[in-house]
Amino acid sequence: MDFFSNAELVRNVTLVVTAFITGVLSPVVASWASEKFSRKKVVIEEEETDEILKLLHANEMIDQRIENIRSEYSFDRVWIAQFHNGGSFYPSDKTHKFQKFSLTYEACRPGISSELSVIQNVPVSVFASILKKVKEDGQYGIHNTATVQDDSSTLKAFWNDRGVKGFHIFAIKSLNKKFLGFMVVDCMNACDTMTQEIVENLVVESKILGGYLAKEHVD
């Protein structure tokens, strides 16, 4: 008789405990888990929002910087090109070769057409000789393309088709000397006002821009 009483007691206690767990603890655990995951989701969304805001801020700073350069020196167009592999910009993806460049930022004088949609996915090989000089020397320019004998018909066509009579290219590098891209100054007339002092100032500007671009794609 005691055995059956004890068995019945155990069964009743088991039922009570089970009811307590399923009826009381389960909702509490579910609520705790839901709140924990909700907080984690909020944190992730806040981090993503912060990254987007940082990116927008960096873009705004770059746009303002190249517009200031354009207006201060009365250039017709100032633009930035970045190296990429068809998807990711250098150096955010170090596992692939970066065989192309695209125009990513641009400032134009009123009346000068935008080329943001034109200079896209250009093979680096087309500008191999010029980009080698830019990487090694930090800058390269031609004040008047009409006075230069260039054997590359492709390069001639690139400048002539765009109505550019003079240009100057400045390397954009990260603080650890990674070649991220380059800044180009376009002149619809010959760049006769381009002095050595201006070139030196623009070299400094390109270094500042390199800091913005490196921060944008590495942080």
Are 141 and 133 in contact by the 8 Å Cβ rule? The answer is no
* CA distances in angstroms from 116 to 65, 81, 146, 180, listed in the order given: 17, 10, 25, 18
95-129: per-residue pLDDT in tens? Answer: 456 689 999 999 999 999 999 888 999 988 888 88
The number of beta carbons lying within 10 Å of the beta carbon of residue 135 is 14
Are 193 and 74 in contact by the 8 Å Cβ rule? The answer is yes
The predicted pLDDT at position 73 comes to 94
The predicted pLDDT at position 190 comes to 81
45-68: per-residue pLDDT in tens? Answer: 555 566 677 677 778 999 999 999
The predicted pLDDT at position 49 comes to 63
Q: Three-class SS of residue 123?
A: strand
Please state, rounded to an integer, the average pLDDT across all residues of the chain: 78
Mean pLDDT of 30-37: 59
Higher pLDDT, 30 or 82: 82
Asked if residue 25 has pLDDT above 70, the reply is no
Higher pLDDT, 93 or 86: 86
Element (H, E) at 82: strand 77-84
Higher pLDDT, 168 or 148: 168
The predicted pLDDT at position 219 comes to 42
- Across 42-46, 153-157, 207-211, least confident range: 42-46
The predicted pLDDT at position 145 comes to 83
C-alpha–C-alpha distance, residues 183 and 196, integer Å: 17
- pTM score of the predicted model: 0.71
Are 90 and 214 in contact by the 8 Å Cβ rule? The answer is no
The domain spans of the chain are: 66-218
The number of beta carbons lying within 10 Å of the beta carbon of residue 80 is 26
Pick one of 2.60.40.1890, 3.30.450.40, 2.30.130.40, 3.40.190.10 as the CATH number of 66-218. Answer: 3.30.450.40
Mean pLDDT of 168-175: 92
The predicted pLDDT at position 62 comes to 94
Asked if residue 85 has pLDDT above 80, the reply is no
The number of beta carbons lying within 10 Å of the beta carbon of residue 2 is 6
Q: Tell me the pairing of strands 122-123 and 100-108.
A: antiparallel
Q: Tell me the pairing of strands 100-108 and 166-173.
A: unpaired
Element (H, E) at 141: strand 139-142
- Would you say how long the chain is, in residues? 219
Tell me the Ramachandran region of residue 148: left when phi exceeds 0, alpha when psi lies from -120 to 50, beta otherwise: beta
The predicted pLDDT at position 218 comes to 45
Residue 188 binned pLDDT confidence (cut-offs 50, 70, 90): very high
Asked if residue 2 has pLDDT above 80, the reply is no
Are 202 and 48 in contact by the 8 Å Cβ rule? The answer is no
